[in-house]
Chain A
């Protein structure tokens, strides 16, 4: 090493001698001379952000995050915490995965491309549809992309997009932003007992509907008892049937292809990510006939110059970096590393593990509902549907007051309105559930 390292960014390796030699090669007197910024827009002030050592920075973040209360979260409603095996963290954190970019040079990205190909394959098996992309941002943006796909692929005119009245606000609002630049309009259809009201839906469907969206399980955890009929209603009006779900539910519940789904969207990060304050992984699978209209990246198989199997990003002429304003979507950076984690987690569980986990989600949710139902002042579940991992409970006293009292005892549940709470078992242990039942029985006394 020649000279001393200059101060500033801890990750810039330059010594004084390096800098001097480089400036000389360029023919400049100082680094500032290299900046071609007019006088009027030079920034002469300071941000006022002090530089910190790594140790101080870690302590700052830890100290700040310690202000979060430590609660047992019986929370779900579209975002689920499941235990992620250590293997997933250790493998996904290998720096080759973490520090690579989009696989624009496939010859030196084979490992990531193969992992993403395996992720796509997993979704194909789970949904029964022929193709899946290698990720959208989350369930809400995947739903938005499904609507713009519907507009492109549906041959007849029409502008109505139907979604259940129970749809999460974040999903509906995101969908509305995605269709804002189109002629599509989002309308809700009624639900009854937490699932699709077929009679009312049939009344609302006509040939003007381009897309019908349903969820299984629904946001309240109910399992749709008549999904095939919903699919039939969609196809009767030539609407795209878009089904919202996730990889764990799909391991056990009806295959989307068998109920007539044209597109499956949802959040695949139920496998691979901890709760992460809402960070997700948009699942997007569809029929092969829509292949040229699919948004997002696709990994395909090809051969190299020695006829060996090789993986590559493919059909990129659909994408924004080639087709610009005529692209199928503006998505560029996606959630590739999360998709990798999801594939790893799924592989770790295997088909037996996935089915067992899904079965457990049914059994444990129903068991907790039964235990709550035995308490005075609670009716659980609040409807007579079958449930997956979560359910709504009717409470006689103020739901808000109950939730607040539960927080004081270390438990978090959703408050839906004055009379209803929602509880989810995916992120908690049996011991947590025991503690929760004890706490809520105290609170509702």
Chain B
């Protein structure tokens, strides 16, 4: 002991602290706000500006000082792994570095306007939206773009609703099927079902790509659309895309592009040129706006000319150097109360404007280089290939979820696990262009160390995170979803 406080005294002080915050069972834990302080306010009839029958009686919530809150949320932030903490190779999620200057750009006060403002008084906002529409149309090879959808899945929904409106308009309302490859994002299936469609699941061929014979069998007069991403979730380019587009178009269906993997194609291929009729862009992925722990995102939708009249209202257009809002002729209406997630859109605009042609082209080049390099450096088997921006390894005899937990112990975030199901014990890995060779080597080492771990170590990992392995089953069996539920214990 080099300090003046004896062991006993020191632990006495700590005990007192823990006693005070009695819910802390381990020094790493931060109590809930309500466990630190809970204040009940009574709505006093005499002081209320409203009669008692219009008001509640009481409100009970935490009532802490600003310094206490600063510490609470700072401590919580220290128990979170983000892309600024280390590599985050979540396949299909495209977790790339988020430039800081875009935060400052989004915080410009003139950008914080009310959606009820008259268009004449917010020409700057409308001009930025208009220019972003143009950038996205160029990048996707599309004719018209709406910025309204607040996330990728919301963009898918617009795509499906637009397809529906288009078919209805052409007296083809009988089309009630949407074809989706088995390896597609879960949102595709859920979106098609929300749109009222029956889902026809499409198996992959033994190369991991669309099976043209299976597609032929699935296509019919009932087909409204095929939802596809390219490269697909295995990181493989659908080489037969031109033929696929022809087959879908021949039966009168539309081809939908899921933009989740667009980062692999920037400047090298465009969905519009491949024959896609409608697509969404995940700007929070491809154009590096922060994911914010699960959102907000933005999912603009691009379409070819024939579908433009059906896009959501309103859109932005330029008329004689003025920007105005307009409702497309046969619009499906709104998919969001106002104009979508402005703060995300402006960051995407700044990102694209910063990179330009040169930067976008380089982003896809380095993303593909990094994925191929990392795939070549790990011990797990990587079926299929050649890869674009991501690859799916198989953990083989190991449980992919255990492998992920073990990788946490090596200071990296693990890949997406157990999906797509066509690879057993899948480890779906997407390093993106922002990782250096040195970091990729660190990731490869984490993969190798996990693959060499014995069964017991795998099953009990992680051991270096704020929490140990969490019991998911008990959480679902006995749902406790608010601090009020904890009070009852």
Contact = CB atoms under 8 A, between A and B. Distances in A.
Contact of B342 (A107, A250, A278, A336): A278
Contacts of A68: 110-111, 113, 121-125
A196 to B, nearest CB: 14
B170 interface: no
Nearest to B49: A362
A19 B370 CA distance: 9
B38 to A, nearest CB: 9
Interface in A130-174: 130-132, 134-135, 137-141, 148, 168-171, 173-174
A174 B151 contact: no
Interface in A290-331: 291, 297-306, 308-310, 312, 314-317, 319-327, 329-331
A403 B118 CA distance: 10
26 contacts: A9-B360, A27-B376, A31-B368, A43-B269, A43-B273, A47-B138, A49-B355, A58-B105, A64-B124, A87-B66, A97-B77, A101-B93, A111-B77, A124-B484, A135-B295, A141-B150, A180-B161, A252-B43, A253-B50, A255-B56, A277-B342, A324-B189, A336-B294, A344-B69, A362-B49, A412-B121
B60 A125 contact: yes
A322 B472 CA distance: 15
A31 to B, nearest CB: 5
B85 A106 contact: no
Contacts of A60: 353
Contact of B360 (A47, A111, A300): A47
Contacts of B255: none
Contacts of A85: 66
A253 B104 CA distance: 37
A206 interface: no
Interface centre among A122, A171, A178, A277 (most CB of B within 10 A): A277
A401 interface: no
Q: Which 4 A-B pairs have the closest CB atoms?
A: A8-B362, A278-B338, A181-B196, A337-B292
B361 interface: yes
A79 B482 contact: no
A7 B362 contact: yes
Interface in B288-302: 288, 290-297
Interface string B70-95: 10111111111111110010100101
Interface size class of B (residues with CB under 8 A): 35 or more
B337 A325 contact: no
Interface centre among A98, A174, A323, A354 (most CB of B within 10 A): A98
A254 interface: yes
A305 B292 CA distance: 28
Interface stretch (A10-18, A235-243, A373-381): A10-18
Contacts of A297: 294
Nearest to A138: B337
B10 interface: no
Interface stretch (B11-19, B214-222, B448-456, B458-466): B458-466
A36 B125 contact: no
A97 B291 CA distance: 9
A277 B335 CA distance: 16
Nearest to B352: A49
B334 A351 contact: no
A8 B98 contact: no
Interface stretch (A113-121, A197-205, A391-399, A429-437): A113-121
Interface in B413-453: 413-414, 416, 419, 433-437, 440
Interface residues of A, number: 191
Nearest to B137: A47
Given A181-B196, A306-B468, A308-B29, 14 more contacts: A8-B363, A25-B373, A28-B372, A31-B368, A37-B265, A43-B141, A48-B138, A68-B111, A95-B82, A180-B161, A274-B112, A277-B342, A314-B475, A355-B43
Contact of A51 (B153, B265, B346, B356): B356
B195 A180 contact: yes
Interface in A25-49: 25-28, 31-32, 34-38, 40-43, 46-49
Nearest to A23: B369
B190 interface: yes
A73 interface: yes
Contacts of A111: 30, 75-80, 466
A25 B297 CA distance: 36
B291 A101 contact: yes
A73 B113 contact: yes
Contact of B135 (A49, A121, A138): A49
Contact of A93 (B90, B103, B120): B103
Nearest to A362: B49
Nearest to B349: A61
A67 B124 contact: yes
Contacts of A54: 99, 101, 354
Given A12-B362, A98-B82, A105 B413 contact: yes
B357 A46 contact: yes
A120 B30 CA distance: 17
Contact of A308 (B60, B123, B151, B468): B468
A310 to B, nearest CB: 4
Interface in B47-75: 47-51, 53-56, 59-64, 66, 69-70, 72-75
Contacts of B21: none
A50 B373 CA distance: 30
Nearest to B99: A11
B377 interface: yes
Nearest to B353: A57
A61 B440 CA distance: 34
Contacts of B115: 79, 275, 277-278
Contact of A352 (B41, B196, B350, B408): B41
B428 to A, nearest CB: 12
A103 B90 CA distance: 12
A132 B482 contact: yes
Contacts of A354: 59, 61
B318 to A, nearest CB: 13
A372 to B, nearest CB: 18
A350 B63 contact: yes
Contacts of A212: none
